[in-house]
Chain A
């Protein structure tokens, strides 16, 4: 089936540093998402992105977070500066349109020390 690729699979970073999580969505998909999952809990919506803009973001999407997809390259989530509570698995997802199935990547496990 369609695959969403996430790079890296695991990132360890010191608190206060910047981190960028990369996502290569399904090639013809137009809607992109980031979800955050703390161990053993459900995935929680962070943000969705369409046509170069953030459509909606949750209260988990702090001011330190930003997303972009310059010129059809990776869809990225940047956290600057990182905090201890940012430690989680971050899942990228994409869909063809707003009424369609979301396909999730394998996640990036972020550990903030």
Chain B
């Protein structure tokens, strides 16, 4: 089955700087790559996603890049704020049943 690697596991940045999280996947059939933000004790919330027909997508301060050839995708948060502190999970899915395989998560801490 699909395997998703996510790095780093812990990321500490200063408020106002950028944060980058990188993921790689194995299954070339994967075609959907969402990112979820999870705060302690809460459900994971979709923040941005990208499909395999795109290489770049931006929603406000969130940018996702997809390199299908290298089987890598990444999340970039520009101008980080303390409210961005949370766990971030990347995921990949493909095929007909939308089964998401998650990375192990990145704990982002934004210090003011």
Contacts and interface: CB of A to CB of B under 8 A. Distances in A.
Interface of A: 4, 31, 33, 41-45, 48, 50, 55-56, 58, 91, 95, 97-107
B60 interface: no
A106 B98 contact: no
- Among B32, B89, B95, B97, max chain A CB count under 10 A is at B97
Interface stretch (B13-21, B64-72, B74-82, B99-107): B99-107
A107 B38 CA distance: 12
Contacts of A91: 43-44
B112 interface: no
Contacts of A102: 34, 46, 98, 100
Interface in B41-94: 42-46, 49, 89
A6 B105 CA distance: 23
Contacts, number: 54
Contacts of A104: 36, 43-45
Q: State which size class the interface on B falls in.
A: 20 to 34
Interface of B: 1, 32, 34, 36, 42-46, 49, 89, 95-105
B98 A43 contact: no
Given A31-B97, A101-B46, 13 more contacts: A33-B99, A41-B104, A42-B104, A43-B89, A48-B97, A91-B43, A95-B98, A97-B98, A98-B97, A99-B98, A102-B34, A105-B43, A107-B43
Given A98-B96, A99-B32, A41 B46 contact: no
Contacts of A105: 43
